[in-house]
Structure formats: structure tokens, C-alpha cells
Amino acid sequence: MNATGPLKIGSLAVGSREWMAPMAGVTNLPFRLIARSCGCGMAFTEMVSANGLIRATRKTLHYLDMAPKDRPLGVQIFGSDPQVMAWATRIVTDAGADMVDVNMGCPVKKVVKTGSGAALMKDPARAEAILREVRKATPLPLTVKIRAGWNSQSINAVEIAEIAERCGVDGITVHPRTAVQGYGGSADWTLIARVREAVAVPVIGNGDVRHPADALNMMRRTGCDAVMIGRACLGNPWIFDRINVLRTEGRCPDPPEPEEKMRVIIRHLDLEISAMGEQAGIRSFRKHALWYTKGDRGGAQIRNVAGRLSEKRELLELLRSFYGLERESPP
């Protein structure tokens, strides 16, 4: 494993090994731009319904919002019908994505009950049919995100990874929990290593990376080519740069000071408001305000208040007071 240069995913050279996971209700354009400014090298949209794309629903098409500074960008799609997935892939390709990712890992009930997401882990034939049709539908780099298996009695990540490689995927992300586990228990990193040994395409590890040192431990123990960060970047986008510096320079930068936190918070809120208007932007940002203050002393009390505020000025005043900042931080 060469973890110092760009990572080649098909025809795409990704300059950083620190990737952000697609997260429903979280990885919209404003948050992706914040993550980019903090060292994220590869990001994905929220997972997008293939059926929603072909119906061209307004909400679904909004997931495809892109910006020049939000590159390279992957679009993650989910569905259970090979032809519908191929059709959606063509839409994503025409929309200007840099990469297409097929979701085979979402354990949420409303997704798996349609045969999509992690349900495909227990239907290898359908998974293969989907990947073959999606591969034929786009010249873009193609990746797939998989789980360990459906449950502890059906651990088949290696089998699915080998199928994916035969279908022509250019990279495989492994979250080594079962669908039944959801996000509980522990991620079995040894399974990432087994997939890495079984396939020649790049493997991206995901799961239980909470601190910069965890990312390096995962790469060393599994041989994975990149690390995908999910929940650990919520309220903590600086984790991408901290991992990158630790990986390339052998030192880990300190967590951000209050002034830096406030600078990013202000920019993040402004991006949300710019994207969707003040009221909707503030509603979208509230959960991020809770995450930014999580773990900080007195954060619980602040979170109780922040969730009720509906004006930008009030929200920023509350956060400045929380961080002990008397005046507005520079943008």
C-alpha cells in the first residue's frame, strides 16, 4: 500500500486518502464545502434514490447540487432494480458527477424493505445484476459501499467484493458491521483486511474511526488505501486535516481553538442560508450547532437553547458567548 500519493480510482486521481462518507440529512453542499476547507479529499452526496432520480422529484434533484470547490464529488445511489439503477446512473453522469457509488450498506428499515441498501448483501445475484448494469451505464469511476454481511451467520463481504470486482467496479468501501448490527457493536477491521487481500481494486475502510490515530491504525492493520469518515466528522470537520497531517508528517495538529471553531461555524451557517434561505438554512444548521458543541463543557445546556432559536443573530450570539468570544470572528 502506498498511502502517500494520489489514490487512483479508475480514471480519477484523488489527492487525499481522507474521505467523507455519504450521510443522509447531513452531507449536503454546504457541509461538503466546510469539510473540503478542512482537508476532506473526497466527498459524496447524501444517498439518492434511483427511483426519485428518474421521477425527477424536486427534493431528489436538489441532492445533485454541485460547486467548483466541491470536487471530486461522488454521487451515491440506491435501489433494487438493475434497469432503474442504470437509468439513474446515466442521470448522475449527465449531471456532472466525478464518481458513482452504489449503496449496498444502508441498514435503515425503509431502505432495506425495498430490497435496496444492505438488503443486497443477502441477494448476491441481484447485487451482481445491478453492478453490471450500472457499469455499462457510465464511463465514470464506479465504487460500491458494502457491509460485512446481512447478519453474523452470513458474513459475505469478501464474496460480494469479488463479485463487484468482476463487474468492473473501480473501488470498494467496506463497513465491517452487519446490517443487523446497524451502527452498534464494533466494526471488525479484520474483514477489511480480508477484502483488501481478495481484490486488486482500491479498498476504502470505514467504521470506528473516531480520532486521527484510529485512521492510521486502520490503514496499518488492514492495508486499506483510504479511510472514510462518517459520524466522527459531525461537528468536527477538522478531523480530515488532522488525519492527513498525522499520516504524511507524523504529527497530529491540536484540535481547533474557539476562534477557529467560530470562524467555521459562521461560514457553515452562511453557506446553509445561502443555499436555502434564512429560515430553512437555520433549521438545517441547528443539528450542526449541536454537534459543534458536543463534548464541550456546558454544551448540553447550549444545545437545549440552540435547538429553539430561529434567527441567525441569536444563534451566533449564543455560540460566541459559549466559546467566550466577545466580538464577531472574522469570516
Looking up cell 469479488 gives: 162
CA terminus-to-terminus distance, the chain: 39
CA 324 – CA 331 distance, rounded (Å): 17
Angle at which helix 82-95 crosses helix 124-137, to 10 degrees, equals 30
CA 29 – CA 281 distance, rounded (Å): 12
Q: Is there a contact between 312 and 279 (Cβ–Cβ < 8 Å)?
A: no
Any long-range contacts for 255-261 (C-beta under 8 Å, 24+ apart)? Answer: 258/323, 258/324, 258/325, 259/323, 259/325, 259/329, 261/292, 261/323
Identify any residues that bridge with 8 across adjacent strands, giving them in sequence order.
13
Q: Is there a contact between 54 and 87 (Cβ–Cβ < 8 Å)?
A: yes
In order of 65, 93, 124, 311, the CA distances from 88 in angstroms are 16, 9, 21, 38
User: DSSP secondary structure string, 109-172?
Assistant: HHHHTTT-GGGGGG-HHHHHHHHHHHHHH-SS-EEEEEEEESSTT-B-HHHHHHHHHHTT-SEE
Active site residues: 106
CA 241 – CA 174 distance, rounded (Å): 22
* HSE-CB of 102 using CA atoms within 13 angstroms: 42
Q: Which three three-digit cell numbers place residue 64?
A: 445533485
